[in-house]
Amino acid sequence: MESKGNPLFVLTGCTAVGKTELALRWAESRNAEIVSCDSLLFYRHIDIGTAKPTARERSRVPHHLIDIRMPSEQLDIGEYVGMAIQTVEEIWSRGRNVLVTGGSGFYLKAFFEPVVDRVLISPATRAKVRQIEDKGGLEGMLKALKKIDHSCEEEIDTKNSRRVVKALERCLETGESVRTLKTRFQNQRNLLIDSKKNLVVLEREKSELNVRIEKRVIEMLDNGLINEVERLKEFGFESNPSVVNAIGYRETMEYLSGRYDRDTLIERISTNTRQLAKKQRTWFRTQLPNGKHVDLTDTQLFDIDSLFN
């Protein structure tokens, strides 16, 4: 699939760093449309706790892959990649630029390297692996794996049962070695991976970011986060672990069950959001290719023309 030389502009950064407004300003000035890679923005009615761009903000610039699922319906990475490819092609066909923005690592990674395993595991194979595990544990699974792939220990952590299960399922399903399957996975190509990327990672000083996080949590509660969660229960969002366990929603559910008061709710959401931001900073540093890092600390008027230059 050809990218036709069109670049993808990618703007990311940890939660509360200030992606939304910069994305809007840049897109407005560069004839661009925004493609979201935030895994919680996929869901309708999940608005306040995700700091989803408002209707007014979305009226400034066309946004894509937002509000595409009901709260009870999960969206897997394979579906997302297919939708993202189609969306990018459509935007380019209109002669417009594409700005990818969001902070969900796995979905963001889909624009840089393969993330979807094309090997489909049959129910019969899954049942067989469960039977092997129940009977012989990790040792039994390794013994079965080595019958197919004598060199599997060179390719996977054989002390990690989850990885051994996955390897055994895939090898049993295909009859191929771990190395062969890994090479095939890594060699996958698609429009997103093959396109030239222009990556910017937004940053702020930790102390300033922490202030922004707590301020945003208080604003979310003032804007009706608790009522939003109560309404979401009517939509069956508790059946979707991706949403009900998300920061802000998990703590509010605990608050509604009477586990703590509003002040503690603010503290819990703020603490968990700070921890998420720390993990995101590490992820961006270790998992993304080299990009331009832009520090927004104490920046009042950011020069939008210099963002991707």
Q: Which of 186, 201, 234 is the last residue of a domain?
A: 186
Chain segment 96-146, per-residue pLDDT in tens: 999 999 999 999 999 999 998 889 999 999 999 999 999 999 999 999 999
Whether residue 301 has pLDDT greater than 90: no
Q: Are residues 19 and 51 in the same domain?
A: yes
What is the CB neighbour count within 10 angstroms for residue 98?
24
Question: Minimal CA–CA distance to 154: which of 182, 123, 179, 188?
Answer: 179
pLDDT interval class at 247 (50, 70, 90): very high
Q: Are residues 198 and 175 in the same domain?
A: no
Of residues 16 and 300, more confidence is placed in: 16
Q: Are residues 264 and 180 in the same domain?
A: no
In a domain, 307, yes or no: no
220: domain CATH number? 3.40.50.300
Mean pLDDT of the region 175-200: 95
- The pTM score is 0.90
**CA dihedral over 257, 259, 261, 263, signed as positive or negative:** negative
In a domain, 169, yes or no: yes
The boundaries of the domain holding residue 275 are 7-114+190-302
Q: Are residues 12 and 91 in the same domain?
A: yes
Q: Are residues 217 and 165 in the same domain?
A: no
Query: Residue 1: what pLDDT?
Result: 43
In a domain, 289, yes or no: yes
Chain segment 68-94, per-residue pLDDT in tens: 999 999 999 999 999 999 999 999 999
Q: Is 76 helix (H, G, I), strand (E, B) or coil?
A: coil
Q: What is the rounded distance in angstroms from the CA atom of residue 181 to the CA atom of residue 186?
A: 9
Q: Are residues 264 and 160 in the same domain?
A: no
- SS3 letters across 238-306: HHCHHHHCCCCHHHHHHHHCCCCCHHHHHHHHHHHHHHHHHHHHHHHHHHCCCCEEEECCCCCCCCHHH
Whether residue 306 has pLDDT greater than 90: no
In a domain, 2, yes or no: no
pLDDT interval class at 298 (50, 70, 90): low
In a domain, 161, yes or no: yes
Query: Residue 275: what pLDDT?
Result: 98
Q: Are residues 269 and 162 in the same domain?
A: no
* Amino acid in position 25: R
Q: Are residues 18 and 142 in the same domain?
A: no
Query: Residue 57: what pLDDT?
Result: 96
**CA dihedral over 152, 155, 158, 164, signed as positive or negative:** negative
pLDDT interval class at 34 (50, 70, 90): very high
**CA dihedral over 123, 126, 128, 134, signed as positive or negative:** negative
Domain count, the chain: 2
Cα Rg, the chain, nearest whole Å: 22
Query: Residue 91: what pLDDT?
Result: 98
- Residues sharing a CB contact under 8 Å with residue 40, sequence separation 6 or more, in sequence order: 46, 49, 50, 52, 104, 242, 243, 246
Structure tokens at 90: 């459509």
In a domain, 308, yes or no: no
Mean pLDDT of the region 153-158: 93
Phi and psi dihedrals of 102, rounded to 5?
150, 170
Q: Are residues 214 and 171 in the same domain?
A: no
% of the chain residues with pLDDT over 70: 97
pLDDT interval class at 2 (50, 70, 90): very low
Structure tokens at 119: 């090997």
What one-character DSSP code corresponds to residue 66? S
Q: Are residues 15 and 99 in the same domain?
A: yes
In a domain, 247, yes or no: yes
Q: Which of 142, 162, 186 is the last residue of a domain?
A: 186
Mean pLDDT of the region 226-233: 97
Q: What is the rounded distance in angstroms from the CA atom of residue 132 to the CA atom of residue 143?
A: 10
Helix pair 262-287, 249-256: axis angle to 10 deg? 160
In a domain, 100, yes or no: yes
Q: Are residues 141 and 105 in the same domain?
A: no
Query: Residue 78: what pLDDT?
Result: 92
Query: Residue 4: what pLDDT?
Result: 59
Q: Which of 186, 201, 219 is the last residue of a domain?
A: 186
172: domain CATH number? 1.10.20.140
Round the average pLDDT of the chain to a whole number and report it.
94
Q: Is 225 helix (H, G, I), strand (E, B) or coil?
A: helix
Q: Are residues 283 and 161 in the same domain?
A: no
What is the CB neighbour count within 10 angstroms for residue 162?
8
